[in-house]
């Protein structure tokens, strides 16, 4: 597994990452880390690698786009001095184009999205031991669906940045597609965006695979 002893992992993103985490920092007792995939990652790292003392901090904020990440990048990423950083952003960048089509000031089109994401990664990368970039997703099996098609394009932008900056790349859409081959989207998310615990488990599993987590360790 790639995370070394005493590593600090900061995971940042939108509501999917947030999942009711504590403020100002999502870590600590009584569910402070949130109720989603970040909490599952933290729990599974602790269960399989207790001696490494890995610290996981949830810095997701509901409703965020990549513009919002830019505004809080210094305080919520750089100042925390993570060893590893995970970024999953883009769902709201796409979604606002479809649920608020007339409010174009809230739309983050793909050129701005890719340029901003790359700028943020470029600022953080020199201080990091490792970086994980996770694509945005839409829990919809029909790739021709307009929002799913746009989301896939943003996922390709994430992949380009991941390759350029030597990041671990997590194709969350591909992970969901494997499950959607067998079950209806509403089984994972009522709105095809905000996952239930099974959906969060899909995300956690994909993340852990990217950092070479060993599920059989110690068994």
Query: Would you name the residues annotated as active-site residues?
Result: 15, 191, 194
| Residue 9 token pair | 């992992």
Tokens of 149: 């098609």
Question: Between the CA atoms of 73, 3, 137 and 29, what dihedral angle is there, to the nearest 10 degrees?
Answer: -70
Residues in the chain: 219
Positive or negative CA dihedral for 166, 168, 171, 172?
Answer: negative
**110 neighbors 153 (Cβ within 8 angstroms):** yes
**Cβ proximity of 69 and 115 under 8 Å:** no
Q: Where are the beta strands (DSSP E) in 91-211?
A: 130-134, 168-170
Q: How many Cα atoms within 13 Å fall on the side-chain side of residue 194? A: 10
Q: Are 96 and 67 in contact (CB under 8 A)?
A: no
Phi, psi torsion values for 213, nearest 5 degrees: -65, 140
């Amino acid at each position: 597994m790639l995370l070394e002893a005493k590593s600090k992992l900061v995971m940042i993103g939108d509501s999917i990452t947030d999942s009711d985490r504590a403020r100002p920092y999502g870590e600590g007792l009584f569910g402070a880390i949130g109720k989603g995939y970040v909490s599952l990652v933290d729990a599974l790292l602790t269960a399989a690698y207790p001696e490494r003392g890995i610290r996981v901090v949830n810095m997701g904020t509901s409703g965020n786009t990549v513009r919002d990440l830019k505004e809080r990048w210094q305080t919520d990423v750089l100042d925390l001095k993570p060893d590893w950083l995970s970024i999953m952003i883009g769902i709201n960048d796409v979604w606002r184009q479809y649920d608020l089509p007339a409010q174009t000031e809230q739309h983050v089109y793909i050129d701005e999205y890719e340029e901003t994401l790359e700028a943020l990664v470029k600022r953080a990368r020199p201080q990091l031991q490792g970086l994980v970039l996770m694509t945005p997703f839409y829990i919809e099996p029909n790739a021709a669906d307009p929002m799913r098609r746009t989301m896939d394009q943003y996922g390709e932008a994430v992949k380009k940045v991941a390759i350029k900056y030597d990041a671990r790349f997590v194709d969350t859409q591909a992970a969901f597609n494997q499950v959607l081959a067998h079950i209806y989207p509403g089984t994972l998310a009522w709105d095809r965006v905000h996952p239930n615990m099974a959906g969060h488990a899909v995300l956690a599993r994909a993340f852990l695979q990217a950092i070479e987590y060993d599920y059989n360790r110690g068994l």
